[in-house]
Amino acid sequence: MRTRRILLAVVLSIVVSSSLLAVSCAQERKNYVVHLDPREDGIVADSVELWHRSFMPEATPESAGDDGPRIIYSYSHVLSGFAARLTNEEAEAMRKKEGCLRLYPEEFLPLATTHSPGFLGLHLGNDGFWSRSGFGRGVVIGLLDTGILPSHPSFGDAGMPPPPKKWKGTCEFKAISGGGCNNKIIGARAFGSAAVNATAPPVDDAGHGTHTASTAAGNFVENADVRGNAHGTASGMAPHAHLAIYKVCTRSRCSIMDIIAGLDAAVKDGVDVLSFSIGASPGAPFNYDLVAIATFKAMEHGIFVSSAAGNDGPVAATVGNGAPWMLTVAAGTMDRAIRTTVTLGNGQVFDGESLYQPRNNTAGRQLPLVFPGLNGDSDSRDCSTLVEEEVSGKVVLCESRSIVEHVEQGQTVSAYGGAGMILMNKPVEGYTTFADAHVLPASHVSYSAGSKILSYIKSTPKPTASVTFKGTVMGSSPAPSVAFFSSRGPNKASPGVLKPDITGPGMNILAAWAPGEMHTEFADGVSLSFFMESGTSMSTPHLSGIAAIIKSLHPSWSPAAIKSAIMTSSDVADHAGVPIKDEQYRSASFYTMGAGYVNPSRAVDPGLVYDLHTNDYIAYLCGLGIGDDGVKEITHRRVSCAKLKAITEAELNYPSLVVKLLSQPITVHRIVTNVGKANSVYTAVVDMPKNVAVTVHPPLLRFSRVYEKQSFTVTVRWAGQPAVAGVEGNLKWVSDEHVVRSPIVIPPAKAVV
């Protein structure tokens, strides 16, 4: 039986080192991505592969019988270069060729709703912005993932228009029973090792791609649930947007070569939004980051890129996909719980979660309670090592081993005769609990609850407990909060730009699933059409769909304008009106949640936007100090930073401000564009601690027309004792109808980067 995966938005490392280049045999061929200096002689598309072949070594008698093509992909839209199979000697020779910028060894990467639309304020009705947007009508969302199950009802095309005239994509489905491409799925391709099925290569064999695709743009499906839990009408954020599927991952891994090929095809095909639930390791300079390089070209083509922040939290400086031309998405909770309740023999009661809600359970019946780890053995604490005589017929308290092994822990307890399991968090996991598909009566509880249960066990000669099942409970609080696993800033590659950008729903998300033998999650072998998963892989397609809604309403907006609308309209207070919390129920910092929790109803009408275009990013890249060659590797154009006005990270016209404040005041410039009413007046309102003085000039902005631009400066200085731990606050431009909020962050004196 397959265990439930958290589906981590994954670690992507593409920094070239000599250890990565070592191979055991000189003639062994390995896969490389070859990055070339872009040609400036107007080479036509048909000649690209011939040019790429000119870099390859001549055929020899030894290579004549070699299996497979030497050039695997020729890239032309997001990267100047190709993927090829080379020996060590051939790779070394290619590095020395004129026009070769860099070689990247192939990396294989593991993979990183019924209620979330309503939780985000997306409700059916003739007068709501969701329906006015046509539910994302006419927008094409491209997903790079594990493929899709085209026969799933979430991908029916009822109410869908035909593909837009600009669409150039292809469909590789071949005679799929009950499904294929239609007006919902307008394109589907598979790449390299992901093309595991010759007759239908883009079919999902992992569930992940089907889940993310339906989260972004699944059509309306009534009576969706998981074994009766979370029952309702399921839909994606943009249920009438088109889907283009690029299968670049198998069940276990994604190749960087396939990822770049998928991005290249998506740009060529004409997608509007890219959903990228695959992560990147923090710290790689952008000119060494193939995903950052490829998505820069996507941005230049007007494509909005939504990407996963990663699941390496709560450790600081773990956020990935941190390029400022990408939206970097953190994962948060909602107010829905799949409730279980633990009652101890002394009457104490603790709430937890479990997707497995047995109908014929021994609810309320007290059973012996045991903690195998009382002897201090770590293998016993997490129930890796059990003794049948000690756990048989009892409720077993286990410490969380890892977020991808919760179901496995329950399987072990069940195998040794345990009657139930209480899974307690580790300290760093705090109050984040998962609705897992357990195989026995179980309850996942917080660290706080688990500690009290453990204290009870230690203080009682014969401890007992019962686990009861409450099903779906709405209105749980606090909500939203940030999940413990969501990766945190600052961004190592560019700490002067706040990352992550935004938080979206990423905990216990119900969405379409790919049922089958390898997708059965429960002990009784029931095949599921919908399933719950968690991770920044799940929050990312929420933002992809919301971007599609904004794009549908505002087709001329740039990717940066859409990002600005999402960030400046977000929430920093939860549904109770208090600051959004992290996994420890402390106020979440901007390095934890980005600008805030997404609020799509305000994002479609933000009032003002902070816009950015290619030249702005070039000036910013020059300011990073990566040199002319480094800027050229990213932008595919020759740049002389000495002749440009390079800017600091703080001066990039971003919707948030990170100010590295020392002893002297710092002044940064910003430009806003009026996208609200023609005649509008905005007043600057600053919310900062008393030891920081912020001056905005001018303090009043008057607009007389739509798309009018106005500039202002923000000067920040210490007004008291400098705060070693750092300071956070907000700048708000307030009109009669809008509040346009930008976070202001003064990093700690010794920030973790």
Rounded to an integer, the average pLDDT of 271-286 is: 90
Four-CA torsion 672, 678, 681, 687, nearest 10 degrees: -40
The CATH code belonging to domain 116-334+482-604 is 3.40.50.200
Domain with CATH 3.50.30.30 in the chain: 337-473
Q: Is the pLDDT of residue 4 over 80?
A: no
Question: Are 212 and 145 contacting, i.e. CB atoms less than 8 angstroms apart?
Answer: yes
Residues 385-431 have pLDDT tens digits of 899 999 999 999 999 988 778 999 999 999 999 999 999 999 999 99
Over range 358-381, report the average pLDDT: 78
Residue 257: predicted pLDDT: 95
Question: Distance (Å, rounded) from C-alpha 107 to C-alpha 87?
Answer: 16
State the span(s) of the chain assigned CATH 2.60.40.2310.
653-752
> Domain 30-105 adopts which CATH fold?
Alpha-Beta Plaits (3.30.70)
Q: What tokens appear for 119 in the block?
A: 């939780």
| Rounded Cα gap, residues 696 and 710, in angstroms | 13
Say which residue, 543 or 200, is predicted with more confidence: 543
Among candidates 253, 267, 256, which has minimal Cα distance to 295? 267
Q: What is the C-alpha separation between 289 and 529, in angstroms, rounded?
A: 37
Closest CA to 247 of 292, 277, 283: 277
Strand partners, 249: 254
Helix (H, G, I), strand (E, B) or coil at 244: strand
Is a pLDDT exceeding 70 seen at residue 127?
no
**Nearest-5° Cα angle at 247, 242 to 253:** 140
Place of tokens 């030894």: 62
β-strand 680-687 against 700-703: which pairing, if any? antiparallel
Winning range, highest mean pLDDT, from 29-38, 277-286, 518-527: 29-38
What does the DSSP 8-state code read for residue 43? -
Q: pTM of this prediction?
A: 0.91
Q: Where are the beta strands (DSSP E) in 185-303?
A: 185-190, 221-226, 229-234, 242-247, 254-255, 273-276
Q: How far apart are CA 579 and CA 556, in angstroms?
A: 34
As annotated, the active-site residues are: 145, 208, 537
CB 657 within 8 A of CB 668: yes
Q: Give me the numbers of helices (H) and strands (E) for the chain, helices first please.
A: 19, 33
**Between 201 and 96, whose confidence is greater?**
96
Q: Is the pLDDT of residue 24 over 70?
A: no
pLDDT at 176 over 90: no
Structure tokens at 588: 């979440």
Beta strand 108-109 with 254-255 is antiparallel
Q: Give residue 175's pLDDT band: very low, low, confident or very high (50, 70, 90).
A: low
pLDDT of res. 65: 47
Exposure string over 423-462, b if 16+ CB within 10 A, otherwise e: bbbeeebbbbbbbbbbbbbbbbbbbbbbebbbebbeeeee
CB of 738 within 8 A of CB of 606?
yes
* Six token digits for residue 529: 């059409």
- Candidates 341, 288, 280; CA nearest to 311 is 280
8 A C-beta contact, residue 454 and residue 278: no
Please tell me the predicted confidence (pLDDT) of residue 26: 43
Distance CA 31, CA 26 (A): 14
Count CB atoms within 10 A of the CB of residue 57. 14
Average pLDDT on 573-590 reads 97
Tens digit of each residue's pLDDT (9 = 90 or more) over 61-85: 455 445 557 899 999 999 999 999 9
Phi first, then psi, for residue 667 (nearest 5°) are: -120, 130
Read off φ and ψ for residue 528, nearest 5 degrees: -110, 140
Read off the pLDDT of residues 157-174 as tens digits, 9 standing for 90 and up. 998 999 999 999 999 986
CATH class held by domain 653-752: mainly beta
Instruction: Specify whether domain 337-473 bears CATH 3.50.30.30.
Output: yes
Q: How far apart are the C-alpha atoms of 584 and 428, rounded to whole Å?
A: 8
User: Could you tell me whether strands 509-512 and 530-533 are parallel, antiparallel, or unpaired per DSSP bridges?
Assistant: antiparallel
Q: What is the mean pLDDT of the chain?
A: 88
Residue of 107, 30, 43, 40 lying closest to 74 (CA atoms): 43
Residue 751 in this model has a pLDDT that exceeds 70: no
599: burial class by Cβ within 10 Å (0-12, 13-18, 19+)?
middle
Torsion sign (Cα): 9, 15, 16, 21 = negative
Name residue, tokens 């706080």: 448
* Burial of 262 (C-beta count, 10 Å sphere; 0-12/13-18/19+): buried
Q: What is the pLDDT of residues 421-445, one digit of tens each?
A: 999 999 999 999 999 999 999 999 9
Residue 732 pLDDT > 50: yes
State how far the alpha carbon of 50 is from the alpha carbons of 65, 87, 102, 470, in Å. 22, 21, 19, 64
3-state secondary structure at position 444: strand
